[in-house]
Structure 1
Amino acid sequence: MTVFAVEYVYDAESGQVRDAHRPAHREWLTALAGEGVLLTSGPYSDGAGALLIFKASDDAALSDLLQQDPFASAQVISAIRITEWNPIIGLLAEHAA
């Protein structure tokens, strides 16, 4: 499995819609964390987006998975950047093996 850093950029006008869908979004993320697919995630302090760290077989599989996010179906994400990441030191390094 490969580790990927995923950056969400939220639509600037989507605050109320995100608030309404946040419980389902977090439930979805919690389930993925329980499966070991999501390693960690959290929003940026300015509310403009979030960073999520996933394990997936490839970027196509990860893209398919991200389309299942309730935030994606609510259309509050204006951009997604997916980058293969190789953590070599620290808590997440063990997941790169």
Structure 2
Amino acid sequence: MIVAVTYRYTDDVALRDEVRAEHRTYLRGLADAGSLLLSGPFGASAPAGALLLFRAEDQARVQEWVDADPFTVRGVVATATLAEWDPVLGSLTAAL
């Protein structure tokens, strides 16, 4: 199963900057394990947040990863929305 996660950040940019390295190290571990497929922030003209794509057996496991993310633990993430995603077209589908 592929799960798309949308983060919306709080307005506390200083906190976000402070926790970013720890957050990225955490996500890098999930990527190295094959669980995190893609992750990155939205562009400057979009609301502050990010999109993450996970591979997992179920959404509950992804929720555990989101809950343990330093951005969540430290209060950078205001909301996290999870949705099962079924990619059918595009150049990345072969890799999924």
Per the normalisation by structure 2, the TM-score is 0.90
Once the two structures are superposed, residues 12-70 of structure 1 have per-residue CA deviations (whole angstroms, 9 ceiling, x without a partner) of 2x210010110010011111111110000100112610000001111111111111101
- After superposition, residues 36-55 of structure 1 pair within 5 angstroms as 36-46=34-44, 48-55=48-55
Q: Partners in 2 of 1:60 and 1:94 — Cα distance?
A: 25
**Residues 3 and 85, structure 1, Cα contact 8 Å, conserved in 2:** yes
Q: Secondary structure of the residue that 2:20 maps to in structure 1?
A: helix
1:77 partnered with 2:77: yes
Following the alignment from structure 2 to structure 1, what is the Cα–Cα distance between the partners of residues 5 and 95? 16
- Separation in 2 of the partners of 1:59 and 1:16? 31
Determine helix, strand or coil for the equivalent of 2:75.
coil
Amino acid at match of 2:21: P
Change over 3 Å in CA distance of 1:60–1:95 after alignment to 2: farther
* Equivalent residues of 1:3, 1:95 under 8 A apart: no
TM-score of the aligned structures, taking structure 1 as reference length: 0.89
Q: Percent of aligned pairs with the same residue? A: 38
Give the root-mean-square deviation of aligned CA atoms.
1.4
Match of 1:93 in 2: 93
Structure 1 gap ranges (5+): none
What is the CA–CA distance in structure 1 between the aligned matches of 2:95 and 2:84, rounded to whole Å?
13
CA–CA separation in structure 1 for the residues paired with 2:57 and 2:94: 16
